[in-house]
Amino acid sequence: MKKDRKRNKGTRTARFIISAIIGFILTIVLTAMTYMLGLYLGFFNEGLILDHLNRNNYYNGVLAYTYDSGESIALPIGLPAEVFEDAITLDMVYQDVRGYMEASFNGISYEVDTTQLQENLAANVEAYTTGTGVVLTDEQKNNVTEFTKQIAADYTENVKMPFLSYFVKAKNFYTKILVIALPVCLLVSLALGAVIFRLYRFKHRALRFITYSTIAAGFMSIILPAAVLFTRFYERLTITPEYFYQFVSTYVSKGIQAFLYLGAVWLVISAGTIIATNLMRKSVLNS
């Protein structure tokens, strides 16, 4: 009988150790799944990028920056800031930025049409010179043409977001990995969970280890992103112009929050498994 007790104790110990090891592996797999999914939802989400543009007044920033840089070109050649009035509208900026981004997401090029901009600017310059009684020489008229072309070129550059080409390539590459890695991790998780359940006659004891894994995965998915959000080291990056800096800061911040939400999901699931474990345990005791 003493040998039987020792054997049973050894069996329970071995089962506990095996369950703990499997639970640890399960934690790693669940955490890896969370980070893979969080990276996709938080940083490779095209819809969120477009949403961030609206939240950060990105279009107003492009418009203001274009005006400021244009004025720095106009003033030295004797043109006042008023020549830019209504030459570039917020609606023009919105249409061009959205058009450029959506084209980039679809892997096609987008040509910014600055014809209206140049016509508006030339008309404003003409109205200014007429109102002040200035008669332009042919050389000055050529300078005005070059001026409008320079403003149009600057506007085109401001509308574009160079990192998008890299973003699209990275997303396509990552998606190919994700469609393989995520199902594999899911199958491995299910297999590990099944092994734990097969080790125990009373399933609530097996469910404990699943709960330990989901709790650990939840906290591991929350702690690191929370630390990044707390330190906000990404806000110390030197990025110009200001409107683009604000966009990047918000983009990173909101992207990191995706990990926090997913980590919270694991904790909610853990709460459910804890309740289920207690109900199953009471059922065993009452039977």
**Over the stretch 260-280, which tens digit does the pLDDT of each residue have?**
999 999 999 999 999 998 888
- Residue 241 burial (CB count, 10 A): 15
- Residue 66 burial (CB count, 10 A): 24
When pLDDT is averaged across residues 22-29 and rounded to a whole number, the result is 95
| Each residue's pLDDT tens digit, 66-80 | 999 888 888 877 788
Percentage of the chain exceeding pLDDT 90: 48
More confident residue, 10 or 32: 32
Quote the pLDDT of residue 8: 60
- Distance from C-alpha of 156 to C-alpha of 172, rounded to nearest angstrom: 26
Quote the pLDDT of residue 9: 63
Quote the pLDDT of residue 255: 92
When pLDDT is averaged across residues 126-136 and rounded to a whole number, the result is 77
Q: Is the pLDDT of residue 243 over 60?
A: yes
Q: Are 36 and 178 in contact (CB under 8 A)?
A: yes
Quote the pLDDT of residue 47: 85
End-to-end CA distance of the chain: 26
pTM above 0.85, yes or no: no
Q: Is the pLDDT of residue 1 over 60?
A: no
Quote the pLDDT of residue 7: 56
Residues contacting residue 60 through CB under 8 Å, at least 6 positions apart: 90, 243
For the chain, what are the domain ranges?
Answer: 2-52+165-286, 57-163
Radius of gyration of the chain (CA): 31
| Each residue's pLDDT tens digit, 244-261 | 888 888 889 989 999 999
Which of 28-37, 53-62, 84-93 shows the lowest mean pLDDT across its residues?
A: 53-62
Q: Are 83 and 120 in contact (CB under 8 A)?
A: no
> Average pLDDT over the chain, rounded to whole?
87
Quote the pLDDT of residue 33: 96
